[in-house]
Amino acid sequence: MASLPAPTPEQLGWLSREPPRDDQDQPIIWTLADCRINEVKWAQPIIHDHLRLERVQFTAAQWDRPVFRNCLLRGVSFARTTFSHARFEGVVFESCSFEGSTFEVCALDNCRFNACELRFTTMLRTQVQRCVFTDLDVTVLELRECDLSDSKFVTSKLHGPRVTRTTAATLELEGGELRGADLTACTLDTLRLTSVAVEGLRVIDCELGAAELHGGRVAEFSMSGTQAKRLLVRGCSELPGPRLLDCRIETLQLEACLNIPSLLIADCVLGALIADNVVLYDAAFERVEVEGHGLIRDSTVTGVLFNAGRWTHLQLTGASVKDYVAVDGAHFQLLSLEQLKVDDSLQLRLAGDTYGDGSMTWGDARGA
């Protein structure tokens, strides 16, 4: 394929000055298309209003303090390009690609990215607010000290995003894939994933208002050292091996998840635990403190371990208990067993379990 030609000096000059205006002092729309621009630096603050770039290839370019307002960029390639203190307002990116590029102290407001590709791209101290990313294809994206408030990713492939010390009022992912993702030391009021195929999501040392996972298959999900007001997992087709470690969660809700093997909750403090219409296989609660109500309702529990920890009130209602219940040094201030279905082969392995006044015991399970 023949390479694109370089722009003429006049065309290159268009990117170095503000666009001309008509008799009503409105910017005149102009287009730069089908050219390549290598190793050019724009150091002056220029406002690009209603600019159209089509099939332009930028390589090793540097933009310092530009403003792009109501622009359309279609089929534009940014390779090893640096944006510093840039603003993008109402910009539409269509089928654009960013590879090895950096946004530093930039702002993207109310922008749309359609079918774009980001490879090994970095955003530092950048605001990405009210932006919508549709059919985005990401291979390693690093976000550090950014603001993602009210932004949304729709049917996107996000592979290897690393998000650190980032904030957001609301951050949504709808459909698509999320693989090998790390959220570290982030503060998010609302994080919502809907019908996303997750293959590796680690939430580390974060502060969350509400974290919600709706539908889809969620594999290799872990949360550690994190505080959350609410963690809701609802309607996931599969949820293999979730891990909650050293977390403080006011309300943990598991709803309508019919395949949760090897759940581990360890060294956590929970305000309340609600498991409603779920199927647990080989679940383990180790050194867990539940300060309020723990409710397992209309669910199937095939093997569960309670190792140490304190439960203010654990209630099993309409649940089916199979395989084994193992208790080692756990304290139940109140244990309520109602309308249980207990498998005849159920094994009870009890050591050092304690119960408060008026509590049932696990030995009462078959008679409950």
**Per-position DSSP letters for 60-120, written without gaps between them:** S-EEES-EEES-EEES-EEES-EEES-EEES-EEES-EEES-EEES-EEES-EEES-EEEE
Predicted local confidence at residue 16, as pLDDT: 80
Q: Does 318 map to a domain?
A: no
Question: How is residue 10 annotated by DSSP?
Answer: H
8 A C-beta contact, residue 55 and residue 74 = yes
Range of the domain at 119: 1-130
More confidently predicted of 358 and 312: 312
Q: Provide the percentage of residues in the chain whose pLDDT is more than 90.
A: 80
Is the distance from CB of 245 to CB of 223 less than 8 angstroms?
yes
Counted domains in the chain: 1
Q: Which amino acid is at 9?
A: P
Does some domain include residue 247? no
> Is 80 exceeded by the pLDDT of residue 22?
no
Flag whether 199 is in a domain. no
Residue 196 resides in a domain = no
Rounded to two decimals, the pTM is 0.93
- Assess if residue 268 is contained within a domain: no
Q: Is residue 299 included in any domain, yes or no?
A: no
* In-domain check, residue 217: no
User: Taking residues 56-80, what's their average pLDDT?
Assistant: 96
Give me the pLDDT at residue 1, please.
43
**Long-range contacts of the stretch 297-300 (C-beta < 8 A, 24+):** 299/275
Per the structure block, which two tokens stand in for 116? 């774009």
Q: Per-residue confidence at 28, pLDDT binned at 50, 70, 90?
A: confident
What pLDDT is stored for residue 12 in this prediction?
78
Q: Is 82's pLDDT higher than 90?
A: yes
214 in a structural domain? no
pLDDT tier for residue 45 given thresholds of 50, 70 and 90: confident
Tell me what the pLDDT averaged over the chain comes to: 93
8 Å CB contact between 141 and 158? yes
> Which has more pLDDT, 175 or 346?
175
Rounded Cα gap, residues 323 and 8, in angstroms: 77
